Amino acid sequence: MPNTKSAHKAKRQQDRRRSENNRVKRQMKDAQKDFEVAVSDTEKEQEDVPVKQYQQKIDKAAKQRVIDENKAARMKNNMMKDLKQRKDFEDENKE
């Protein structure tokens, strides 16, 4: 329990920032799940995969410093790798 007025204010700020960071992280994880489900679902078309939404959530989290810029770049790189694997898999099955 904070003792001083400034400690109370710092605690309020921490709580506010934590809840905002958790909200952004949750949105990013939800977008990641939607992306992974869409990539694994072979019935969906390539255009139906929510790449842009996931990328936007990653960029927003990095911009707000919720995650590190390098982590954001790594996540987007892995996302594109998964998408390319799916595209290659679809191309193999068409032939």
48-80 confidence digits (pLDDT tens): 678 889 999 999 999 999 999 999 999 999 999
Q: With 0-12 CB in 10 A as exposed, 13-18 as middle and 19+ as buried, what is 76?
A: middle
Taking Cα atoms as reference points, which of 87, 54, 80, 58 lies closest to residue 70? 58
Does the pTM surpass 0.85? The reply is: no
Q: Which long-range contacts (CB under 8 A, 24 or more apart) does 49-53 make?
A: 49/83, 49/86, 51/79, 51/83
Give the C-alpha separation, 46 to 38, whole Å: 9
Q: Which domains does the chain possess?
A: 5-94 (1.20.58.110)
